[in-house]
Amino acid sequence: MRIHVTIGGTRRGAVGMDEAEFDEFYASSLRRLTGQLYAMIGNHDEAQECVQEAFVRAWARRGLLDRRDGNPEAWVRVTAHRLAVSRWRRSATARRHRISPDRALAVCGVGEEPSETHVALVAALAKLPEEQRRAIVLHHIADLSVEQVARETGAPEGTVKARLSRGRTALAALLADDPGTEEVRL
Amino acid sequence: MNDIDELLRGFDPGLASPPPAAADLRSRGDRMRRRRRGVAVALAAAVVAAVAVPFALAGHGRDATPVGPGPSVTPSPTVVTRPGRVPDNFPLAAGWPAAGGTGEDARVVSAPSRTRPPLSAEACGRTVAAVGGIRDRVNTTFDSISSHRGREVRIYRSEVAAARAMQSLRAVFAECPSEHTDVPTPYLTTVRRWAVTGFAAWEAIRDYGANGYPGLDIFQVVRDGRALLIQTFSDEGGGADTVAAAVSRSARRPLAALARLRE
């Protein structure tokens, strides 16, 4: 799988999506991407909102999303994560300036409740340093190779391997201490 | 470890809420695309206007964004000054995007207020408003889905008090070149001269996001005699210098009006 995050610059030969392709892409990857972002940021509602917003932006830039050999899913994931960080920053700004909370942070709709195991896993992931958590989610949940994780996070491969190793060790300890995940005790 | 691998690989918590139809997202994407093109056209027009209309530049130290009220700025003829008081029609929100839109497209400009908390310099756990010795102040804010802006004009009791306030605000940023928060990368702060012709001015550029998660805060202060104008800007970031230049240009009318408040 190759990753081309070419938004902002046109890559020669890129072939944009049409409506049917976008709809199929959305239907097939929304749930997966929402789960991945939820594992990264620890908020299920916000994860889905950010992923949906990333799809909006993807469609707005569809001419640059290469459906042939690019990886639009990686672009949506990166954009959604960036939006989540941006929202965090924005809500921090709102607190700083004592303005009302971000309208876009409002939670709407009721969907599936994550299982206790999922909640426990997300809680354990949330205790890891950001870089380790992101590496683990991308490698183990999104099933990216170390090379792909390195490319998506902008870190050297060696650094990614170290983050994965430390993150897994820490995660194992955290899960072993959590009664909600007895079934995965080592 | 295999159990952890399986747990992670099988991670599928579902969706938090019923998802919108793809057609709805495409519709929003189309609106975003049209809006962006509209902005691009407007920017192109602004660039033409900027080239056609010269305005005063600072003569030295081009390390900051040159901007000035200068001859290109149409003074606000309706600004009526009263000593020690900010005119009610001071053009605080001039140069900002117009209010409007709904939902995530909403752009909200707050009414000018003397009671809203003052714009403050915040960094490394310090918050300084520097409102000691102040005679009057008015501020307003702009909010959209991704950005926040603020402007505040102040009149101090004396020029010394205004200069002291300016220095107090500056010190907050100057003493905090780097700040670690819970965002992925640290805030990096640059304090530099803000080149505004005829004024004492500085700006603090705070950004983070070396690995593609940009955030940008700009804090600009300009003083003319007893009058101070503070301008803040927060957005997703990227291209800090370009953004700072645009933010500076947006302040031309308030800067022109500030000159009328110096005494």
Low-confidence ranges of chain B (pLDDT < 50): 40, 43-44, 46-66, 68-77, 210-212
- Distance, in Å, from the CA atom of B249 to the CA atom of B43, rounded to the nearest integer, reads 12
User: What angle (nearest 5°) sits at the alpha carbon of residue B240, between those of residues A138 and B131?
Assistant: 115
A143, two tokens: 């099933």
The answer to whether B17 contacts A58, with C-beta atoms less than 8 Å apart, is: no
The whole-angstrom distance between residue A67's C-alpha and the CA centroid of its chain comes to 20
- Which residue, chain included where needed, has tokens 């402007």? B151
Q: What is the mean pLDDT of chain B?
A: 78
- Distance, in Å, from the CA atom of A38 to the CA atom of A108, rounded to the nearest integer, reads 16
Kindly identify which residue of chain A lies nearest to residue B233, measuring between CA atoms: A93
Most confident of A13-22, A177-186, B117-126, B202-211: B117-126
ipTM of the complex: 0.76
Nearest to B213 among A82, A109, A183 (CB): A82
Under 8 Å between Cβ of B91 and B74: no
Q: Considering the entire predicted model, what is its pTM?
A: 0.52
- Which residues 7-46 of A are in CB contact (within 8 Å) with B? 19, 22-23, 26-27, 30-32, 34-35, 38-39, 44-45
Q: Across chain B, where does the E strand assignment appear?
A: 108-109, 121-123, 126-128, 134-143, 148-156, 178-179, 187-193, 200-208, 215-224, 227-235
With beta carbons under 8 A apart, name residues in chain A contacting B12: 31-32, 35
Most confident of A31-40, A76-85, B207-216: A31-40
The answer to whether A52 contacts B18, with C-beta atoms less than 8 Å apart, is: no
Q: Starting at the earlier edge strand, list the strands of the sheet with B178-179.
A: B108-109, B134-143, B148-156, B227-235, B215-224, B200-208, B187-193, B178-179
